[in-house]
A and B are shown apart, each in its own frame.
Chain A
Amino acid sequence: MGSNMAENHPVGFQWVMEARLRNAKVMHVDPRFTRTSAMSNLYVPIRAGTDIAFLGGIVHYILENERWFDEYVKAFTNAPVILDARFQDTEDLDGLFSGFDSEKRVYDTSSWHYAGMPEQETAGERSKGGTKGEQSGHGAQAGGLTGGEPPEEDLTLQHPRCVFQILKRHFSRYTPETVAEICGCSEEQLLEVAEALCENSGRERTAAIVYSVGWTQHTVGVQYIRTAAIIQLLLGNIGRPGGGIMALRGHASIQGSTDMATLYNILPGYLPMPHAESVGSLEEYLENHGAPTGRWAAFPTFSISQLKAFYGAGATKENDFCFDLLPRINGDHGTYQSALDMLEGKVKGFFLLGENPAVGSANSKLQRLALASLEWLVVRDFVEIESASFWYDAPEHETGELRTDQIATEVFLMPAATHVEKDGSFTNTQRLLQWHWRAVEPPEDCRSELWFVYHLGRKIREKLKDSTDAIDRGILALDWAYATSGEHEEPSASQVLREVNGIGPEGKALSKYQELRDDGSTSCGCWIYCGAFAGEQNQAARKTPHWEQGPVPSEWGWAWPSNERILYNRASADPQGKPWSERKKYVWWDGEKKQWTGLDFPDFTPDKPPDYRPPENAKGDDAIRGDHPFVLQSDGRGWLYAAVGLMDGPLPTHYEPHESPFDNLLYGQRSNPCAQLHAHDLNRYNPAKDDAFPYVVTTYRLTEHHTAGGMSRTLGYLSELQPEFFVEVSPELAAERNLAHGDWATVITARTAIEGRVMVTERLAPLEVQGRKLHQVGVPYHWGSKGLTTGDAGNDLYSIALDPNVHIQEVKAATCDIRPGRRPRGPELLELVASYPGYEEESSDASG
């Protein structure tokens, strides 16, 4: 669901086909019939933006028909935990949870805790509430849990306030009838999917769920994935071969860039950026973000080793390892907030390092106007992308909104080296690091980002070397000694990977994160990558052919953490440590050798027996029972119910997309009450249920193009294969709006109007929703004004309406109008858009 794997991850899809050849049942639930649907045993069309309702229907089916994997659920999840008596569910509050502040549109989450927990909260600014807050790097803190065990439990799962009963009650209204009505599918289709999942649950069988940005790009995106997690935990599908939830990501190292934290709210390894209001000293930081129990109890060793990697010998115990020098966050500093701040003149300088927001980000018109408000812009790319050329060829020149001679932005377009012109590693979507070697030198002035960043830092430090200004302490204190070689003075990527891996007191590369210390004797850039350079060998560079390895190819690259290929794999054995079945054996307890063993590296304390029970007040890993596989959580369990870590509820709830033609059939609360909205005249929202916008519009990608097109619309073969932007509609919608296949159509939202060739197919079939026929419009979003094939940008249509947890934009479901013909040129385009209704809305008065 939320993924078109056959077209967007075709080579990965070979494994789905292999599974199907072995009689696996493949099911595809998606608004659009694609090649993935064609290759599946069952295809279910649903309305874009209703996946939580569909998944909720599956949870309902599992619970009503007693199909959960009882032994797994009781032993491995938090189903038995009793919740605080103050907790109120959406069942009680018509779509809201307890603690909602309707003015600030944020939750006070204190009533969501486990019963009997101390009042203390540990999650930084979240506990303060009231700001457009931010998730901390990890969600391990379950309040002041001591000894790793929740204070109150009911192993019979009967207590009315235990997680299991709350879950049952929460999903009780997600009946097949209601789900069908919301999603536009039939009850039979839902039941067939639910039954197939249940049939493939238990000791002998597992099922996997695959998703992509079809799930993440919503105002409730995080809760989509949470619902899948609930299903997989109920059915016993996490930590077992053939199970799991597979996030198929779209860029070669998007996982690695997340791990390395080119994200504002985290430091490498998911350590939180210190927050101005909750973190003064290192001591406070370690206390706020560590956890007494579970793997995160080692947080001080991760953090102090990272400070040592950043600041080298200058970081000492006496100066709190330079913690003082770290910049602080105090709100949402994500890319959409930055774009809005560019328009205000607050952000003056911008680096674009292989990214093209003029096409690729939501409300790309706003993005282009933001670029034109900068003082300076550095674009590093292979070609001249739209984000570099906006000052003379953005569509806004036609409408008079931009004029070249009035744009003050200074633009540096720096040619980049390709992956074959530099050494380095990518981390793929399965957390696998794979090294690539430089095959040739980059031509002329093309350089790697490693070169650019290193030499930029070197130059800045050189220019500031005599500065005594306090603001320059941070940059001068960095350990920036990197060896370079060759005529370009290229820094060594393996030296950087070795620093990321970590170095011990003897100056040797560390081999596992358990060796990290909090006394400054070890350094490590990113604790989860510790081991990637074990034994002074670049483990990511291992390329033993698959035919020389078993079913778990442990010698191809290196997977974080600790080269484990399946996370939480202790769950592949039963509570007593025996494989659930011969067929599904993976990692198990060897009673004779007294250690965990198996096909993979165990994601568990290697010698902790299954019957281990923590002593009173145990800390860290010692506080996790031998039959609790989820070692990152402070209670060692899989969380059906998430007491902390989420801004918009401990359980997933179906809300309509921010822009939807329908009411919420389940609750009075229509859309996500915490959705992050930004009031700006360039970001007008379509009014909900407005006749002017009767259709749903969703974006998608094509096999032959890559995101914003910089690496595909510029290439001959790929441009020939997919030569033109188009707008996909059903024959019924084409008839309703006089659209002819191959002719032009104009799609309109409150932001702007774009044009594309009409593609009439039966792939986006109309659905029966709440008693009426709903049409959906499909828009591939790859196009822009540059490259060998050009066209309007699909993302121009969308607003900035964000998920409150992760600030990701809702571009998979919005509303629109469509009419035949080309869009107007010049100022008439603005008049057309202005003739449509639209309004401004801000979700909170607290700004970042």
Chain B
Amino acid sequence: MDLSELIGRWPLLRQLREGDRLGLGRAVQSPRTQKLEPRTAAAERVVKSVCPYCAVGCGQLVYVEDGRVTQIEGDPASPISRGRLCPKGSATKSLVTNPGRELKVKYRAPYGTEWQQLGLDEAMDMIADRVIETRRQTWQDSDDKGNKLNRTMGIASLGGATLDNEENYLIKKLCVGLGVVQVENQARI
């Protein structure tokens, strides 16, 4: 590379020569940075989604590469958010990919001092058994005046405001079937 070419690459000169006076654009690009692409460019799929935090309902775009989420950004098409996300919404990718996520079932036995690992299917079986047993123990056919109750007061459920409508519907339907009336979510709080 000759000297004039080297000097010609000098950002200060390029700022003056190329009209990028503030040095925020072309003037400060190198051959390497010119080739840089946002990680969203390599995405195989862009999936439309909705922010999982507050109830404004900002649109999100989920970028996927090799079966992994590589970025989550605001969706410009949304009439609600017009592409914007707040700090929480902007951190959504780490909600999905953060290393602190639990990936296996953890089990603590009565009086136990440690977590144990449990297979998913085994855990589901154990939970089903607990529900059946507690229902039997605590079932109420009727009150002391003979009015029908048809329920258990031994089981309660809390949660739903962060979940999908379809999930909430199924929670309620199952609880109605089981006679569990203490079904609640954050709307109460």
Bound CA–CA A419/B48 (angstroms) = 11
Q: CB of B18 within 8 A of chain A?
A: no
Pick the contact of B134 from A375, A425, A526 — CB < 8 Å?
A: A375
CB <8 Å contact, A410 and B84: no
Q: CB of B12 within 8 A of chain A?
A: no
Q: CB of B155 within 8 A of chain A?
A: yes
The proximity string for A residues 447-460 relative to B, scoring 1 for CB distances below 8 Å and 0 otherwise, is 11110111111011
Known contacts: A353-B158, A453-B170, A718-B87. The answer to whether A414 contacts B105 by CB under 8 A is: yes
The residues of B that contact A380 with a CB separation of less than 8 Å are: 159
CB <8 Å contact, B143 and A445: no
CB <8 Å contact, A420 and B96: yes
CB <8 Å contact, A437 and B49: yes
Q: CB of A698 within 8 A of chain B?
A: no
| Closest residue of A by beta carbon distance from B87 | A704
Q: CB of A429 within 8 A of chain B?
A: yes
CB <8 Å contact, B105 and A353: no
The proximity string for A residues 421-445 relative to B, scoring 1 for CB distances below 8 Å and 0 otherwise, is 1101111111011111111110111
CB <8 Å contact, A384 and B102: yes
The smallest C-beta distance from A321 to any residue of chain B, in angstroms, reads 13
Q: CB of A348 within 8 A of chain B?
A: yes
Q: CB of A612 within 8 A of chain B?
A: no
CB <8 Å contact, B177 and A478: yes
Bound CA–CA A497/B91 (angstroms) = 29
Grouping DSSP codes into helix (H, G, I), strand (E, B) and loop, the A interface class, with mixed when no group exceeds half, is: mixed
Q: CB of B21 within 8 A of chain A?
A: no
Could you tell me which residues of chain A, from 317 to 366, have a CB within 8 Å of some CB in chain B? Answer: 324-330, 333-335, 338, 341-342, 346-355, 357, 360-362
Interface locus among A112-120, A615-623, A708-716: A708-716
The proximity string for A residues 403-415 relative to B, scoring 1 for CB distances below 8 Å and 0 otherwise, is 0111111111111
Q: CB of A755 within 8 A of chain B?
A: no
Interface locus among B1-9, B24-32, B34-42, B107-115: B107-115
CB <8 Å contact, B88 and A704: yes
CB <8 Å contact, B87 and A703: yes
Bound CA–CA A421/B96 (angstroms) = 9
CB <8 Å contact, A330 and B47: no
The residues of B that contact A384 with a CB separation of less than 8 Å are: 102, 106
The proximity string for A residues 624-643 relative to B, scoring 1 for CB distances below 8 Å and 0 otherwise, is 00000000000000000000
CB <8 Å contact, A463 and B149: no
Known contacts: A11-B85, A354-B163, A405-B113. The answer to whether A347 contacts B177 by CB under 8 A is: no
The residues of B that contact A422 with a CB separation of less than 8 Å are: 164
The residues of B that contact A324 with a CB separation of less than 8 Å are: 148, 150
Q: CB of B156 within 8 A of chain A?
A: yes
Bound CA–CA A342/B90 (angstroms) = 38
CB <8 Å contact, B131 and A382: no
The residues of A that contact B153 with a CB separation of less than 8 Å are: 333, 341, 346-347
Count of A-B contacts judged by CB separation below 8 Å? 477
Q: CB of A267 within 8 A of chain B?
A: yes
Known contacts: A445-B103, A553-B79. The answer to whether A496 contacts B169 by CB under 8 A is: yes
Known contacts: A252-B50, A333-B181, A347-B182. The answer to whether A276 contacts B148 by CB under 8 A is: yes
CB <8 Å contact, A441 and B160: no
Q: CB of B16 within 8 A of chain A?
A: no
The smallest C-beta distance from B110 to any residue of chain A, in angstroms, reads 5
The residues of A that contact B13 with a CB separation of less than 8 Å are: none
Q: CB of B173 within 8 A of chain A?
A: yes
CB <8 Å contact, A711 and B174: no
Could you tell me which residues of chain B, from 143 to 189, have a CB within 8 Å of some CB in chain A? Answer: 143, 145, 147-151, 153-174, 176-189
CB <8 Å contact, A349 and B155: yes
Q: CB of B33 within 8 A of chain A?
A: no
Q: CB of B130 within 8 A of chain A?
A: yes
Q: CB of B11 within 8 A of chain A?
A: no
Q: CB of A679 within 8 A of chain B?
A: no
CB <8 Å contact, A255 and B55: yes
The residues of B that contact A338 with a CB separation of less than 8 Å are: 156, 158, 182, 184
The residues of B that contact A716 with a CB separation of less than 8 Å are: 94, 98
The residues of A that contact B96 with a CB separation of less than 8 Å are: 418, 420-421
The residues of B that contact A263 with a CB separation of less than 8 Å are: 183-185, 187-188
The residues of B that contact A445 with a CB separation of less than 8 Å are: 103-105, 120
Q: CB of A580 within 8 A of chain B?
A: no
Could you tell me which residues of chain A, from 279 to 307, have a CB within 8 Å of some CB in chain B? Answer: 280
Known contacts: A471-B136, A474-B178, A808-B188. The answer to whether A450 contacts B167 by CB under 8 A is: yes
The residues of A that contact B110 with a CB separation of less than 8 Å are: 375, 407-410
| Closest residue of B by beta carbon distance from A500 | B169
Pick the contact of A348 from B90, B141, B155, B167 — CB < 8 Å?
A: B155
Known contacts: A326-B150, A327-B150, A378-B127. The answer to whether A264 contacts B181 by CB under 8 A is: yes
The proximity string for A residues 484-509 relative to B, scoring 1 for CB distances below 8 Å and 0 otherwise, is 00000001010011011000000000
Bound CA–CA A807/B185 (angstroms) = 12
The smallest C-beta distance from B127 to any residue of chain A, in angstroms, reads 6
Known contacts: A347-B155, A353-B159, A434-B57. The answer to whether A543 contacts B67 by CB under 8 A is: no
CB <8 Å contact, B158 and A357: yes
Q: CB of A261 within 8 A of chain B?
A: yes
Known contacts: A267-B176, A429-B55, A436-B48. The answer to whether A353 contacts B78 by CB under 8 A is: no
CB <8 Å contact, A429 and B57: yes
Bound CA–CA A335/B185 (angstroms) = 8
Pick the contact of B154 from A347, A712, A714 — CB < 8 Å?
A: A347
Pick the contact of B165 from A259, A556, A806 — CB < 8 Å?
A: A259
The residues of A that contact B187 with a CB separation of less than 8 Å are: 249, 254, 257-258, 263
CB <8 Å contact, A437 and B124: no
The residues of A that contact B128 with a CB separation of less than 8 Å are: 456, 459-460, 463
CB <8 Å contact, B123 and A412: yes
Known contacts: A349-B154, A428-B80, A441-B67. The answer to whether A252 contacts B52 by CB under 8 A is: yes
CB <8 Å contact, B54 and A410: no
CB <8 Å contact, B186 and A327: no
Q: CB of A376 within 8 A of chain B?
A: yes
The residues of A that contact B135 with a CB separation of less than 8 Å are: 471
CB <8 Å contact, A449 and B167: yes
Pick the contact of A807 from B45, B90, B177, B188 — CB < 8 Å?
A: B188
Bound CA–CA A825/B59 (angstroms) = 46
CB <8 Å contact, A392 and B113: yes
The residues of B that contact A553 with a CB separation of less than 8 Å are: 79
Bound CA–CA A456/B48 (angstroms) = 29
The smallest C-beta distance from A542 to any residue of chain B, in angstroms, reads 11
| Closest residue of B by beta carbon distance from A273 | B181
Bound CA–CA A434/B59 (angstroms) = 9
Pick the contact of B47 from A248, A342, A376, A437 — CB < 8 Å?
A: A437
The smallest C-beta distance from B126 to any residue of chain A, in angstroms, reads 7
Bound CA–CA A254/B164 (angstroms) = 9
CB <8 Å contact, A262 and B184: yes
Bound CA–CA A788/B180 (angstroms) = 36
CB <8 Å contact, A526 and B169: yes
Q: CB of B82 within 8 A of chain A?
A: yes
Bound CA–CA A260/B165 (angstroms) = 7
CB <8 Å contact, B49 and A419: yes
CB <8 Å contact, A353 and B88: no
Subset of 12 A-B contacts with CB under 8 Å? A252-B51, A263-B183, A264-B182, A276-B143, A333-B181, A348-B134, A348-B137, A408-B110, A411-B107, A443-B101, A460-B132, A480-B177
User: Which residues of B pack against A, CB within 8 Å?
Assistant: 45, 47-60, 62, 64, 67-69, 72, 75-82, 84-91, 94-96, 98, 100-111, 113, 115, 118, 120, 123-132, 134-139, 141-143, 145, 147-151, 153-174, 176-189
Other 5 A-B pairs with CB < 8 A, given A264-B181, A327-B179: A257-B161, A324-B150, A362-B189, A380-B159, A415-B103
